[in-house]
Structure 1
């Protein structure tokens, strides 16, 4: 099963969560390794969508709120460094859009 093309990534997920240091489960440090920061947050948003659209879904989980999808992907950041991530998406009950939930480093694919 492949990811659809109706993907939504809310700006706030990037600018107030992924690229801002979090004391627990921080992602900003990993993304900074590839050159992502608040100055180029729109690039990260576009790169996530480009990497995931049409990709194979690794895992599907049914929840009380909808269906969650896990996708493994990789792409080169603005500084050329390759990052490998797992993104989590959700199609809420009663909608046809799939929204971005979070991402995390894909430690299984790292060499």
Structure 2
């Protein structure tokens, strides 16, 4: 099953969460390895969208608010480093949009 269309990423998810150091479950250091920072946050947003649109869903999970989708993807960051991530999306009940929740490094293929 492919991820539905209508993907939405709120700018704040990138500028105030993913690319800002978090004491718990930080993603900014991993994204920095591929060259992402607050100065090029729009590039990260576009790269996530381009990597996920039309992708196969790895896992579907019902939640209290709708349906969550897990999508594995990879792309090359602005510094040429390959990045492998798992993104979490949610389609809230009675909406047509699928909104971005978070991402984390995909360590499933590491040796």
Please report the TM-score for the alignment, with normalisation by the length of structure 2: 0.98
1:70 correspondence with 2:70: yes
Structure 2's unaligned 5+ residue stretches are: none
* Equivalent position SS for 1:67: strand
Contact 1:58/1:72 (<8 A) preserved: yes
Contact 1:75/1:82 (<8 A) preserved: yes
Question: Residue 94 of structure 2 aligns with which residue?
Answer: 94
Poorly superposed stretches of 4+, deviation over 2 Å: none
Please report the TM-score for the alignment, with normalisation by the length of structure 1: 0.98
Question: Residue 80 of structure 1 aligns with which residue?
Answer: 80
CA deviation profile, 1:54-82 (whole Å, cap 9, x unmatched) = 00000000011000000000000000100
Structure 1's unaligned 5+ residue stretches are: none
Question: How many residue pairs align between the two structures?
Answer: 111
Q: CA RMSD in A?
A: 0.7
